[in-house]
């Protein structure tokens, strides 16, 4: 019988393999080079200005991306507004009043729309913002593979079942991540 730590390592390897296979098939670090070459620099300049004005915003922007990715995959669905008949992720009990950075993402999107109308997805903006906010406060930077499609659906009731619990141990976190990664891949097909 495999130990808990061995199972955890195997789950992590599987999660990384799934993520890498998605990235290799669909995403590229040069995705906007021909259609909006200034996209990454626009995002970085805006993030730098926002974080200079409010250093605590860096963590909020990273958290916004995390909440987006853990529910329905990294598709920007956390940014969608509720309607009269449907509550979205933004309005879910776990998110309402605790997530911030929406106005900054809107401002970045507006600037990108002026530079390159209809080109850069909100999902990619969130990924770039998370990376740039992390780097701005001294964290490690990383290449962001781009080309994500924006999701067209967002449901508040999915938040509670998707986000990790604060009491989850490492094995539970990995299992939860794998479950949602695999179920997202099935929904996508």
Annotated binding site: 68, 71, 73, 75, 77, 89, 164
Q: Exactly one of 50, 51, 65, 67 is catalytic; which is it?
A: 67
Known binding-site residues for substrate equal 164
Distance CA(19)–CA(13), nearest Å, equals: 10
Known catalytic residue at 180: no
Give CA separation, 139 vs 1, 16, 37, 90, 133, in Å.
Answer: 39, 21, 25, 27, 8
Would you call 129 helix, strand, or coil by DSSP?
Answer: helix
Nearest to 185 by CA among 54, 75, 42, 110: 75
Distance CA(166)–CA(110), nearest Å, equals: 35
Joined tokens for residue 1: 């019988």
Q: Give Cβ neighbours of residue 161 (< 8 Å, ≥ 6 apart).
A: none
Residues forming the active site:
67
């Amino acid at each position: 019988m495999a130990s808990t730590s061995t199972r955890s390592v195997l789950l992590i390897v599987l999660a990384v393999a799934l993520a890498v296979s998605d990235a290799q098939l669909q995403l590229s670090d040069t995705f906007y080079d021909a259609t909006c070459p200034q996209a990454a620099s626009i995002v970085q300049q805006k993030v730098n200005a926002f974080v200079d004005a409010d250093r605590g915003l860096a963590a909020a922007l990273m958290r916004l991306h995390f909440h987006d990715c853990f529910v329905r995959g990294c598709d920007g669905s956390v940014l969608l507004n509720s309607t009269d008949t449907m509550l979205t992720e933004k309005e879910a009990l776990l998110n309402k009043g605790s997530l911030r950075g929406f106005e900054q993402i809107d401002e970045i999107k507006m600037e990108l729309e002026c530079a390159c109308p209809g080109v850069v997805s909100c999902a990619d903006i969130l990924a770039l913002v998370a990376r740039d906010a992390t780097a701005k406060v001294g964290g490690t930077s990383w290449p962001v593979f781009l080309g994500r499609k924006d999701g067209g659906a967002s449901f508040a009731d999915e938040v509670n079942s998707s986000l990790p619990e604060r009491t989850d141990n490492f094995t539970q976190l990995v299992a939860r991540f794998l479950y949602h990664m695999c179920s997202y891949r099935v929904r996508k097909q």
